[in-house]
Chains A and B, each alone.
Chain A
Amino acid sequence: MTVKTLNAARPKLVLAAARYREVGLAFFILILIAAVSLRSPNFLTAANFQNIFLNISILIIVALAQTMVMITKGIDLSVGSMIGLVAMMVSFMIKIYPNFPIPVAVALGMGLGAVLGVFNGLIIAYGKVPPIIATLGTLSVYRGLVFLYSEGTWINAFEMSRTFKLLSKAAPLGLPNLVIFAIVAAVLVFFFLNHTRTGRDIYAVGSNPDAAQYAGIRKQRIIFTVYVLSGIACGLGGVLWASRFESAQTNTALGFELQTVAASIVGGVSTSGGVGTVPGVLLGALLLGIIQNSLTLVRISPFWQLAAQGLLILIAVVTDHLIQRGMQRRSG
């Protein structure tokens, strides 16, 4: 069967652009860095960038999970509440048992997150409730549990052990642990998505759910899995959040779900499923971190920051899109 078409002879440039969507985004980030460093000498310094990376580490961990969910055409709106709940529960442990072993605390947090994720997964994969509705519901339920559990009280820095607070801040490997956690998460998710069957099944399910079923993929199981993974990521995120900010409050990580969705979408994840890469999400989170950081540095009024942040995200997405299209047209 010989298939001759014009497609077969498409120039390499198009293929490169189609395969590496991140190019446009990286380009925009470089321009932004150049622009901000002209305005502020304090921006392009090792210390400041370490600060940026510290700020986006938890975002990266949770956005990676959000990305996996979104590749299956889903969305997990409950991530902020899961982080808040886990942060509160683990902090209580630390408060009551000051000598609580830290690795166990991390494992406990991830375990709690997994339980919350299982609940989401069951409702969505087997209860067939649309993800946006299911997780909008659990967003409120989990946040409500934070209030019930804490009875409205906060846990403050003085109630936490030093070792727990150091969990995120110590830097035995030269980089703060928090950043190490994010790097390890990125490597693991990259390997999982690109080099395991389950990982590839996630793309298959999002790309064409019916075809996935015909191909013998257990669609429900895959969907269930991504929500559990999201819960686990939020569990880890919750522990790290409490350690980094040295507190657990009823409004911890309130609204965080929107940041994770923004990082994913800016990073090229498609809301219609099937598309999304780890490098893309890392760049998406980096862009968000740089924007937040630089708006303060170039002294934009705090009243304007939120609007400016949104505007820059929109510009990034549009630029990326235009670059994509331009490349395709020039070579097509």
Chain B
Amino acid sequence: MVKVITGVHQPDGGEIILNGAPVHFSDARESRNAGIAAIYQELSLFPDLDVAENIFVGRQPIAQGGRIDWRKLYSQADQLLSSLGVHLDLKQKTRSLSIAQQQMVEIARAFSINARILIMDEPTSSLTLNEVADLFRLVRRLREDGTGIIFISHRLEELFEIADRVTVLRDGAYVATRPMSQVNREDLIRLMVGRTISNLFPKQTVEAGEVVLKVENLSRTGVFQNISFELRRGEILGMAGLVGAGRTDVARAIFGVEPPTSGSIQIDGQDVSITSPHQAMNLGLAYVPEDRQVHGLIPAMTIVSNISLPIINGFSTWGWLNRENERSSAFTSARQMEVRANNIWQKARELSGGNQQKVVLAKWLSTKPRILILDEPTRGIDVGTKAAVHELMSKLASEGMAILMISSELPEVLGMSDRIIVMREGIQTACFSRAEATQEKILHAATQAVNAGSAP
């Protein structure tokens, strides 16, 4: 819907009324000139351009003779970023920035337009709590300056904190609009899912079995150091920390994408050295990566091909692919995951974020792993799918799967994990049991060194 308002896509019907008059935008330039800026959910930066240019792309300051005034551009960008309190190298290519930093650039771009209407689609999905607080301060400041803000979010807490009114959409249809002061959390969830979710985190208590994965002093020079933990059958181990703490790097090291430089990994008590994802898969590991678009899916391929990708050898005899087996197996997996699509030959890129995530999960579960690593499994997906993912995790654990879950969302970590380890800047700073973990303790461990001596 954001794309329709900003003119990137055209509406099939209805009209947009701006300041009392109907308007029509045929591209994003026209809506921008009308004072509408948007921050899209999928990051829309130019990886090969630098920070300053990304902010002003398409409307660089022009000096005489149509020449771009680079000096003015950099000084304006500098002013803008310091007024936002963001510290970034203006000349760095955005390709090498972290996701949170990239988001800052997007926000700076939206702010630089001096928009009267600002649309933010899930702006906080990859920010840490501190960054969210800073963002909200800015949003409030803009509101006081008279900017109208449409703030799209799946995080209900945020809406209560920041919004004046709330409109609920479900499956592409309008449900209701209420003043924020007249609804509570349960009301909203009911409106969103159309039913009550009795238990937000359906975690079952499972008796943890024997140790299946043991990691000792795992290090990758310059990225993370001395990570040690055990993962047992039927256990969900949460991994908390700020964005950029090195959690994903640990997961990638275990899965053999970028092998560790020292330390040991044991599976079922056997020392293993995993040097490729292929080998990791044969050892019963599966890794659902953080970035669906880049690492999790092949967007241009169909749902069937995506799901059968890791197990494609199982469908071939002497190199000849049995399409029917592939189809029926993928169909079963997709149905189990309740993937919502027109048909299973639909391209993965045409699906919503939640359904894409279901396809990724179906794909990895089809390898029948014993150890499942989930990296931000519910980032940027809707509440309904989120609940489904949580339910699935709980069910898998009760069937004996060992799950390592990386998550930046504290309620999720607290709600789903049996044990929680916390990382900060590449170091393991704490380990809590489900009973002793609290939001405060985790945040403390994620932001401050526990043993100050070991800081890099």
Contacts and interface: CB of A to CB of B under 8 A. Distances in A.
Q: Do A and B come from one complex?
A: yes
Interface of A: 1-8, 15, 18-19, 191, 194-197, 200-201, 203-204, 206-208, 210-218, 274-275, 332
B432 interface: no
A15 B90 CA distance: 12
A216 B40 contact: no
B48 A203 contact: yes
Given A206-B48, A274-B47, A275-B48, A215 B85 contact: no
Contact of A214 (B44, B84, B97, B107): B44
Nearest to A197: B60
15 contacts: A1-B138, A3-B88, A15-B92, A196-B67, A197-B62, A197-B66, A201-B57, A204-B58, A211-B43, A212-B58, A213-B28, A216-B32, A216-B59, A217-B57, A332-B222
Nearest to B60: A197
A207 B53 CA distance: 13
In the A-B complex, the 9 residue pairs with the smallest Cβ-Cβ separation, listed nearest first, are A216-B29, A211-B44, A274-B48, A1-B134, A207-B46, A216-B28, A207-B48, A215-B58, A214-B44
A270 to B, nearest CB: 8
A327 to B, nearest CB: 14
Interface of B: 3, 6, 8, 27-32, 38, 40, 42-49, 53, 57-60, 62, 66-68, 70, 84-89, 91-93, 96-98, 100-101, 104, 107, 109, 130-131, 134-135, 138, 222, 244, 425
A204 B9 CA distance: 20
Contacts of B31: 216
Nearest to A191: B67
A215 B3 CA distance: 11
A208 B87 contact: no
B445 to A, nearest CB: 17
Contacts of B135: 1
B46 A214 contact: no
A200 B60 contact: yes
A18 B48 CA distance: 11
A198 B1 CA distance: 29
A211 B43 CA distance: 8
A215 B28 contact: yes
Contacts of A1: 84-86, 104, 107, 131, 134-135, 138
A3 B86 contact: yes
Contacts of B96: 7, 18
Contacts of B49: 200, 203-204, 207, 274
A3 B58 contact: no
A5 B222 contact: no
A217 B89 contact: no
Contacts of A15: 89, 91-92
A200 B28 contact: no
B45 A208 contact: yes
Given A203-B49, A332-B222, A18 B58 contact: no
Nearest to A201: B58
B8 A213 contact: yes
Contacts of A191: 67
Contact of A196 (B47, B68, B87): B68
B93 A214 contact: no
A207 B70 CA distance: 20
